Amino acid sequence: MTDTDLPKRPLALLGLGDMGTVLAHGWLAAGHPLTVWNRTAAKARALAPAGARVAESAAGAVAAADLVVVCLLDDASLDSALEGADLTGKDLVNLTTGTPAEGRARAAWARERGARFLDAGIMGTPAMVGVPGSGAYVFYSGSRPLFDRHRAVLEVPAAARFVGTDPGHAALHDVALLSAMYGLFAGISHAYALIEGEDVAPKDLAPLLSEWLGAMGFFVGNAAERLTSRDFTTGVVSSLAMQVAGSRTLLRTAAEQGVGAGLISPYLDLMRERLEADPARHGAEDTVGAITLLRRGAA
Ligand code: FVH
């Protein structure tokens, strides 16, 4: 008997928005008996032809399987969706994006209701989930035994990365990566705004931007090493003093081009704040030391 001959574990899925619907198709295609529920019932009924069992209520869906996955809009939706559902003995996996504090509070909430709990953060869009090689994956944190028990099922739509028993850590990793992404989007947006109206086509800047951002990717590892060692000076090739002076050129160029500097100025201000706090000491650092200013009171 091979693994594919084994009976597939049944599960219930609550929440059939763009993401939930893709997840549902993934589990159905893999042969898992799936019970679905959605607040707007038509989205659940649409999955019946693909083999889903449609529950009339969230409580009914929860009752249908030991493994209950929720993928709702936000943490508050869990309260309204799961109100009145009996979670006793259930394994609850929350794929809804939330904050670390929400993940921890939700774990305590689940425990009070007799359920085991895993929080999660999906790294990928609905177009990526279920597509081999797309790079989509899901962070999980909370109960390790629960993760181990359900890993094979959870990995049907996207690869799984367990990031610790603190139920807040999936959200922490998720939001850290998303925040970095928006910083990147902000810089890219500013760059395209600078060339607008000039004889430089966005499509010509695009490969240069990609190449440059790739080359600057070294900053990720460099920052991690310096934050660990707290050594912000050894081996610095682009000093903070030089970069603060250079940042004035960025701001003057934005002004010349008629582009607001709001997307880049917070980071430039942070560098300047670090330098001005102690120019003799911080001038020879690179920019990583400025990170210590972000957690106010922790520098
Ligand atoms: N879509 C994406 O690109 C991202 C990728 C990364 C992960 N996020 C997070 O995934 C969660 C679900 O996202 P989604 O794309 O499925 O979102 P929607 O299409 O807007 O569907 C939302 C579902 O939540 C239901 N819902 C909303 N409020 C309530 C409520 N008070 N009670 C019960 N259900 C509720 C909604 O139901 P309906 O509007 O169809 O009746 C949908 O099923 C999310 O955390 C993303 O941040 C997606």
Structural contact between residues 67 and 91, judged by C-beta atoms closer than 8 angstroms: yes
Eight-state DSSP code of residue 72: -
Strand ranges inside 82-180, DSSP E = 91-94, 116-123, 137-142, 159-162
Nearest to 20 by CA among 211, 151, 120, 157: 157
pLDDT of residue 2: 53
The yes-or-no verdict on residue 297 having pLDDT over 60 is no
| Residue 152 falls inside a structural domain | yes
Q: Provide the pLDDT for residue 4.
A: 60
Average pLDDT over residues 6-11: 86
Name the residue at shortest CA distance from atom 7 of ligand 1. Answer: 122
Look at residue 45 and tell me whether its pLDDT is greater than 80: yes
Q: Report how far residue 258's alpha carbon sits from residue 83's, in angstroms, rounded to the nearest whole number.
A: 52
Which of 36, 73, 137 has the most ligand 1 atoms within 8 A of CB, as the residue to mutate? 73
From atom 4 of ligand 1, which residue's Cα is the shortest distance away?
125
Question: Dmax over Cα atoms in the chain, in whole Å?
Answer: 71
Mean predicted lDDT score pLDDT of the chain: 96
Q: Looking at the domain assignment, is residue 299 inside a domain?
A: no
Question: Among 109, 143, 165, which residue terminates a domain?
Answer: 165
**pLDDT for residue 107 is more than 80:** yes
Atom 47 (ligand 1): residue with closest C-alpha?
97
Indicate whether 123 and 233 sit together in one domain.
Answer: no
pLDDT score at 1: 47
**CA trace torsion 121, 127, 133, 138 (10° rounding):** 10
As a whole number, mean pLDDT of residues 160-187 equals 98
Same domain, 206 and 261: yes
CB-based contact 157:23 (threshold 8 Å): yes
Asked if 65 and 94 count as a contact pair (C-beta separation under 8 A), the reply is no
Query: What is the per-residue pLDDT for 3?
Result: 55
Let me know if residue 220 belongs to a domain: yes
Residue for token pair 């889903």: 52
Q: In which band, very low, low, confident or very high, does the pLDDT at 278 lie, cut at 50, 70 and 90?
A: very high
Q: What angle, 0 to 180 degrees and rounded to 10, lies between the N-to-C axes of helices 100-112 and 75-82?
A: 20
Model confidence at 188: pLDDT above 80:
yes
Question: What are the tokens at 121?
Answer: 């953060």
pLDDT in tens, 59-72: 999 999 999 999 99
Same structural domain, 161 and 177: no
Q: What is the DSSP letter of 293?
A: G
Determine the average pLDDT of the residues in 196-223.
97
In this predicted structure, what is the pLDDT of residue 75? 97
- Ligand 1, atom 27, lies closest to the CA of 73
Is residue 226, in this structure, part of any structural domain at all?
yes
Residues with CB under 6 A from ligand 1: 15-20, 38-40, 43, 71-74, 77, 80-81, 96-97, 122, 125-126
pLDDT of residue 5: 58
Share of the chain above pLDDT 70, in %: 97
Q: Which of 135, 165, 195 is the last residue of a domain?
A: 165
Residue 91 has pLDDT above 80, yes or no: yes
Q: Which of 13, 14, 19, 37 to mutate to test the pocket of ligand 1 (most atoms within 8 A of CB)?
A: 19
Determine the Cα–Cα distance for residues 287 and 268; give it in Å rounded to an integer.
10
Q: Exposure string (b/e) for 130-158, b if CB count within 10 Å is 16 or more?
A: bbeeeebbbbbbbbeebbebbeebbebbb
**Mean pLDDT calculated for residue range 125-133:** 94
- Probe target for ligand 1 pocket from 13, 72, 95, 185, with the most ligand atoms within 8 Å of CB: 72
Residue 191 Cα to ligand 1 midpoint, Å, equals: 32
Tell me the β-bridge partners of 141. 119
Confidence at residue 298, expressed as pLDDT on a 0 to 100 scale: 44
Local confidence band at 276 (pLDDT 50, 70, 90 cut-offs): very high
State yes or no: pLDDT of 27 exceeds 70.
yes
Among the residue ranges 6-15, 18-27, 158-167, 171-180, the one predicted with the least confidence is 6-15
Q: Give the residue whose CA is nearest to atom 10 of ligand 1.
A: 96
CA-closest residue to ligand 1 atom 18:
17
One domain, residues 75 and 145: yes
The percentage of the chain sitting over the pLDDT mark of 90, rounded to a whole number, equals: 96
Contact 91/120 with Cβ under 8 angstroms?
no
Domains identified in the chain, total number: 2
Give all strands of the β-sheet with 11-14 in edge-to-edge order. Answer: 53-54, 34-37, 11-14, 67-70, 91-94, 116-123, 137-142, 159-162
Report, as an integer, the average pLDDT of 80-85: 96
Residue 69: what are its φ and ψ, rounded to 5°?
-110, 135
Counting every residue written for the chain, the total comes to: 299
- State the pLDDT confidence band at 299, using cuts at 50, 70 and 90: very low
Distance (angstroms) between ligand 1 centre and the Cα of 58 equals: 15
pLDDT at 25 (0 to 100):
97
Q: Label residue 24 exposed, middle or buried (CB < 10 Å: 0-12, 13-18, 19+).
A: buried
Domain that holds residue 64: 3-165
